[in-house]
Structure 1
Amino acid sequence: MKLSIDHQTNYYYKEFAQRSVQYIRMSPMALPHQIVHTWSVMLPKLATLQKDGFGNIWFTLSRNEKHDNLQIQASGIVEINTDTQYVEDSGEIPYLLFTVQTPLTYCSTSMRDFAAPYLETVTLENLRGLASALITQMPYTTNVTHVGTTAEESFEMKAGVCQDHTHVFLGCLRDKKIPARYVSGYLYDADQNHMSSHAWAEAYLDGYWYTFDISNQLFQPSHHVYVAIGRDYLDAAPVRGVRIGGGYESLYSQVMVNRID
């Protein structure tokens, strides 16, 4: 399935920023089940291209001139194999790295108790059962969390978005030393355009990474475009950086994913 993707992100600052450094991960990964036919990232000025420790494509954009906005447009064509059941481990990153908790995925006692019935025996069926129970416990709810909300906080609120569902799921699995990683990217939905970047979890079982899209209850990457992987949101965020000045910022972001074959 070939997909045309257009991702526009605009940050507006209340005041002029004197200097900023932004790290931009908006380029899909080349994987056995995912072919990147064309892709471009348009930025305000020339940026440095490299890969981070997880193999994610990473632009570093440094601006030393005064500016009151940041505009990014990423677009291209990506083909995915819709028959893919799981993702093979590349072997480049030790999978045990993804058993280590981060501040965003820390597992609270209430999370541990909630997950316990599903993790007595680690099977694909039980993990899917946990994912199903989690969306019931935490219905998809916008505007109640932010990028810094921890798994513990969103679980106690019993609400959140894809990022929060993923962090809670990762926290529960890592508490049992089950390797689990955060994935960011794009989702194709035939009924509607997914208007923002998406996030889901993957768990390592028997040498393979299995998909757990809690928000949509999807368990194979048949509609997912991989952009970045990491331990949590901070490792895979589309845009992350620092600036001097600028004051309050507002964000406008839109993603359009359309099938073209």
Structure 2
Amino acid sequence: MELSIRHETHYEYSAPLQYALQHLCLTPQANAHQEVRSWQLSAPGPLFAQRDGWGNLAHSWSMARVRGGRHVYRGSITAHGIVQTSPAALLVDEPGAPPPALYRRATALTAADAALAGLARAHLGGRRVDEAALLALAAAVAGRIAWRAGATHVGTTAAEAFALGAGVCQDHAHAFIAACRAAGVPARYVSGYFHSPQAQELGSHAWADVCVDPDARRWLSIDVTHACTMDERHVRLAVGPDYAACAPVRGVREGGGDETLRVRVLISPPEP
């Protein structure tokens, strides 16, 4: 499936911004699942590309107001392009990627409590880690954490969302990853886009990769929210141990007062 994507992030501040530094994971890479036909990324300052520790193609930019310079009250980051996807849900890491064992370690956002550890034992304990078992675990997580926008925030942990019984795709992914790691199975967070003709402006999404063959570094990509494997509706942006490691936009600033953030993501087949 050929998908046209436009991701806009707009910032406005109540006071002059003195300094800003941001790290962007907004550039998809080619793999067995997708081909990047075109992609452009723009920010308020010059962009510097680098490969981060998780293998993502990332960019950074910074801004510092000089004495006598103009006051900055707003800024925008825009990523857009065309990506060709396929239903391939199995991926093999490129050389140089972190070893799968690194993704067995819990993080602050993916630590399993007794409830998540019990879920892991019920679905993965003593069983072969295959697609059927992982989809059953995904269905159990989605069944426990009902989709409710605004119920959680970016700092909500897997255990908190699981206890609350509500959340969004980030919480589904974190809880699923926490359960996998509790069973000793490497799992990582995936940020990206999901195409739904019924919701073209709600395209940002998160799911998980599970290492089903550590020796071959082969990963099966599971969409917990939709209880399916990754298919042609998904576009991958970045991976990491959790959301905090591969958020599309993160950074620090000085000044600016109160911040107002507006994000718009549009995904659709390209116009003829």
Which interval holds the TM-score relative to the shorter structure? over 0.9
- List structure 1 runs of 4+ shifted beyond 6 angstroms: none
CA distance in 2, matches of 1:78, 1:138: 31
Q: Where does residue 160 of structure 2 map in the other structure?
A: 153
| 2:97 counterpart of 1:87 | no
Q: In structure 2, how many angstroms separate the alpha carbons of the residues matched to 1:85 and 1:144?
A: 30
Of 203, 227, 233, which residue of structure 1 is paired with 2:237?
A: 227
Q: Pick closer, same or farther for the CA change 1:18–1:178 going to 2, 3 Å.
A: same
User: Is 1:200–1:214's contact at 8 Å kept on the other side of the alignment?
Assistant: yes
Per the TM alignment, residue 68 of structure 1 is displaced from its structure 2 partner at its CA by 2.2
* Count of aligned positions: 260
Question: 218, 223, 227: which is aligned to 1:213?
Answer: 223
Deviation at residue 2 of structure 1 after TM alignment: 1.0
User: 1:248 maps to what in 2?
Assistant: 258
Q: Which runs of 5+ in 2 are unaligned?
A: 66-70
Distance 1:232 1:64, change over 3 A: same
Q: Which residue pairs with 2:128 in the alignment?
A: 122
CA deviations 1:30-50 (Å, max 9, x no partner) are 213311111001211212111
The CA deviation at 1:113 is: 1.8
User: Which letter does structure 1 place at the counterpart of 2:176?
Assistant: F
**What do the CA deviations read for 1:85-134 (whole angstroms, capped 9, x no partner)?**
31123242211111111101000112112332111213321221111011
1:25 equivalent in structure 2: 25
Distance in 2 (CA, whole Å) between partners of 1:215 and 1:158 is 14
Amino acid at match of 1:80: T
Conserved 8 A contact 2:196-2:203: no
Cα distance, 1:77 vs structure 2: 0.6
Matched, 1:7 2:11: no
Aligned-pair Cα RMSD in Å? 1.5
Unaligned runs of 5+ in 1: none
Equivalent-residue separation in structure 2 for 1:80 and 1:247 (angstroms) = 41
Alignment correspondent of 1:35:
35
> How far did 1:203 drift?
0.4
Q: TM-score, normalised by structure 1?
A: 0.94
User: What is the CA–CA distance in structure 2 between the aligned matches of 1:55 and 1:89, rounded to whole Å?
Assistant: 9
Do residues 55 (structure 1) and 41 (structure 2) align?
no
Residues 197, 225 of structure 1: CA spacing in aligned structure 2 closer, same or farther, 3 A cutoff?
A: same
| Aligned with 1:100 (options 82, 86, 105) | 105
- Is 1:239 aligned to residue 253 of structure 2? no
8 A Cα contact 2:12 2:259, kept in partner: yes
CA distance in structure 1 between the partners assigned to 2:60 and 2:206 by the alignment: 22
Report if the CA contact (8 A) 2:49-2:59 is conserved.
yes
